[in-house]
Amino acid sequence: MGKTYDTMKAEMELRRYAPSTQDAYLRYAKQFVAHYRRPAEEMGEREIRAFLLYVVRQQKAGDARHKMFVAAIKFLYAEALKRPEEVVGIPWPKVARKLPDILSGSEVAALLSAITSLKQRAVVTTAYGAKMRISEACTLRIEDIDSARMLIHIRQGKRKKDRYVMLAQRLLLCLRQYYRHQRPEGPLLFPGRQADRPMCAKTVRKAVREAVEACGIRKRVTPHSLRHAFATHLLETGTDLRTIQALLGHSSIRTTTVYTRVSRRHIGTVQSPLDVVGTDKGRVLG
């Protein structure tokens, strides 16, 4: 892509897009250009539509991958090349909304125990115990742990937002054990191989995957599953949705209400009419 690649990257940097978003957009835009082996400047809506149909029909791309291609190509033409007319008619695909598999409390405990590395177990415990994203846990600084107020300061989370979350007593004990054993140098609580660089999130994901296999858990589990589990467990123990929204850092309460669709407290304890029809209790049904 040459100059166009540099222009696209510069436009994303000016908008302060996350590095992961920049990498994804550039990767998908390059695949579009490579497909035709022609400069993006020489192509337009006809080529874009044909390519997206190829992605759907020939590559059998899923909803999420299809959407990423659309997002990257729209940014390429609308922002980098300043030709928004080429993509204004390109539709956004409908993406299936799947409910996450929720780990039970005993499954969470088993998973944490199965992580053999003290550092990796501390990171994953922090992610669950303080409902953090793995990227947020990996970049924590020692000064972010406020044991006096029993709070953790999450800096520049998703969408560049700061927030505070509670510091559980058991999590504090876990972090103190880890700190006494590892004695991290520098400001980062979980440094990588270099003291000034955070621990790689890929390393944590691998540790979780191996722990899930060791425990024999058959649910779809990723590090983000711990965040889903925490939110659901909060809801099941009586925490209101607004509080959960603030703790998770959700901009909209609609995002948080998904947990009412997986909570046993909201679904599993509701009695089905099948169990009351024909009984004294079912008389109200006519």
Catalytic residues: 133, 158, 224, 227, 250, 259
Q: Which residue, chain included where needed, has tokens 């006519």?
A: 286
Angle at CA of residue 209, ends 207 and 241, nearest 5°: 100
Question: What is the rounded distance in angstroms from the CA atom of residue 245 to the CA atom of residue 236?
Answer: 15
Query: 195 near 185, Cβ under 8 Å?
Result: yes
CB atoms within 10 A of CB 253: 11
Edge-to-edge strand list for the sheet holding 145-146: 145-146, 151-154, 163-166
What are the backbone dihedrals phi and psi of residue 163, each rounded to the nearest 5 degrees, phi first? -160, 165
